[in-house]
Amino acid sequence: MPEYSISQLGTFEQCALQYKLIYVDRIKRYEEGIEAFLGQRFHEAMERLYSERAFRIVSLEELLAYYERQWAENWHAEVKINRKERTADDYRLLGRRFIEDYYRRHHPFDEGRVLGLEKYLRFPLDAAGRYNFKGIIDRLMRAPDGAFEIHDYKTGSTLPDQAQADSDRQLALYQIGVQTLWPEAKTVRLVWHYVAFDMEMRSSRTPEALERLKADLGELIDRIGAERNFAPHESALCDWCPYWDLCPAKKHLVKVRELPPDRWKDEPGVVIVDAYAERWRKKKALEAEVKGPEAEIKALEAEIKEIRDAAIAFAEREDVSVIAGTDARLRVNGKDKPAWPARGTGAREALEKELREAGVWGEVAALDDAALEQAVAEERWPGDILDRVKSYLGTEKRYTVTLKEDS
């Protein structure tokens, strides 16, 4: 049976295409962002600190020296820094500050007994074993009052509110795992260390909340299993994605950026977008006039339609949904829509005959496509009639083409 992680499910929710590339196609990309690099070094420092705690308290100076050594030994040229105004040293020093703040807040680190560091869990979500999960707990503790505590270090720059902590899935899922593997864990506390803010947040879950989480995660896994399209979803997270060359929304931009500057404007997709943008801007300017010249506007509309058709053909041929231009982009979205036989065709006449013979012609008089589609969707007629009518239903691809000017 497949095993899932909470980050894996989160990837599907953020971008189904990225999920497919990573977990279905198993295309490996080893690009590492500076934020993840810093986070890993901080986690290593915490593991060092608490693994020594049974014997001694590691000094702050020793811990910082260990962090610096791990940073230097693991650094590589492919670490990606998205914020161009920042350097690797900025992040290295930021990590030092995180360690210093944490050390001063939690010294002498006697909050309880350490049960596990970077503790790997494998457990079923349900009794039937249909949904199996894996995860790593940063630090599992047993507090002096006997409660189990699941600790998680967060080095990111976003601080959630308490309501968000109370609805967080990751540590709640780990609670399910802990209570499955250690039934004596009757009381479990969830603890996050937001080290960028020198703050700690705590939460807990009722048995009812955990049952709801199990149901929600099971439904999500079923939805993933039924997915067939795996469409991309663009968001701010795209800047951290290493699969641009495989993404319909990004790969034309990648292709264009690789061209020498003197060849940029001659690339076929760029030519299409620039032509579309030029005429679209002209049309908007004319329409803004009190008495815009109608003939010129109509001529521009005709040209825009021709260019639109060229953009659709280009997008289909190149398997892209976004075409890059010099200072704008065209988004081309094609969706399969239900389509009935065209008027004047033999199939159309046969469909009309079926409807008349079934005695339902009056409900879709003149065979209005929208009325017919609604009648079928609502299943207004007996099954045999619906089956005969549906046999005439095909699909056609309908497109929207949208211009987005680069800011």
Query: Over the stretch 128-172, which tens digit does the pLDDT of each residue have?
Result: 889 999 999 999 999 999 999 999 999 999 999 999 999 999 999
- In the prediction, which pLDDT does 363 show? 65
- In the prediction, which pLDDT does 356 show? 77
Asked if 394 and 319 touch (Cβ cutoff 8 Å), the reply is: no
Q: Residue 376: in which H helix or E strand, if any?
A: helix 369-377
- All domains of the chain in start order, with CATH: 3-226 (3.90.320), 248-335 (no CATH), 341-391 (no CATH)
Asked if 311 and 328 touch (Cβ cutoff 8 Å), the reply is: no
Ranges of residues in the chain with a pLDDT under 70 are: 292, 339-341, 360-372, 392-395
- In the prediction, which pLDDT does 367 show? 55
- In the prediction, which pLDDT does 369 show? 67
Residues 6+ away with beta carbon under 8 Å from 316: 334
- In the prediction, which pLDDT does 392 show? 67
Bridge partner residues of 151 (DSSP): 139, 191
- In the prediction, which pLDDT does 1 show? 74
Residues 6+ away with beta carbon under 8 Å from 379: 386
Cα separation, 143 vs 153, in Å, equals 18
